[in-house]
Amino acid sequence: MSTLNLTVLQQPLAWMEGEANLRHFDTLLAGLHGRDLIVLPEMFTTGFAMEAAKSSLPEARVTEWLHEKARTADALVGGSAAIQTADVAVNRFLLVEPNGRVHRYDKRHLFRMADEHHHYLAGSRREIVEWRGWRILPQVCYDLRFPVFSRNRNDYDLALYVANWPAPRAAHWQALLLARAIENQAWVAGCNRVGRDGNDHHYSGDSRIISPQGDIVAAGEPHQPAVLHAELSLEALRDYRQRFPAWRDADAFHF
């Protein structure tokens, strides 16, 4: 399809209370219709916690809930969650289709300033999700600072960044989202949480949906819960890339 109806949920998260967070998003998602893609923040079941995987909801419970929401909304629905596998813990971006198909991307760049690399295993693969004619690149928070990994090799149309990005570095979040859209000539959506977490870190949200030219087409009011909607045009994206083919001169980086 040439258009993608995207919704980004900029919301507070209950600290380490999985079922409470699911109930909160139950209420929000109940009123959403006619969407193609619905995005929740990073670690949407717990908040960003190093100990989250040890007491977080099992992956089966999270994917079951996402599948229910995807089926009801007839949309691709996802966000990241702290997941304890049989051997390791991962910060896993889960995107679930209405038919139950699950797409997984494990956060590659772990936030060492919070010792995330000591608690979670970094992902090794870059993933592209194909959905309703769109090619989507899922990324998680700190990944945003590393442009080589998200370099558009003419293999995606939309990059999704989910985050728990603290308010003191909000200017970095906003600038880097804009840069990723412009340099990759792609749509970019950033979904960040709001409120305070159990470590007393404050999050201002500043969620964004940005066009390939760098226009902000939707933005969440800082420090406030918000539901952002935008209609993305694949035709406009392709036309722009044809008229201004900077991508043809990009350096070749491979992962």
Q: Where are the alpha helices (DSSP H) in 31-77?
A: 52-55, 59-73
Per the residue annotation, which of 42, 59, 97, 116 is the catalytic one?
A: 42
Per the residue annotation, which of 59, 107, 116, 191 is the catalytic one?
A: 107
Within 13 A of 155's CA, how many CA atoms are on the CB side?
A: 15
* Secondary structure tally for the chain: helices H, strands E: 6, 14
Structure tokens at 129: 């999700």
Question: Sheet containing 102-106: which strands, arranged edge to edge?
Answer: 102-106, 89-96, 76-84, 37-39, 3-10, 226-233
Structure tokens at 183: 């340099």
Residue 27 CB coordination number (10 Å): 8
107 is annotated as an active-site residue:
yes
Pair 206, 192: CB distance under 8 Å: yes
Per the residue annotation, which of 97, 116, 141, 191 is the catalytic one?
A: 141
Structure tokens at 26: 């139950």
Classify 128 as helix, strand or coil. Answer: coil
Residue 192 to residue 102: CA distance in whole angstroms: 22
- Give the catalytic positions in this structure: 42, 107, 141
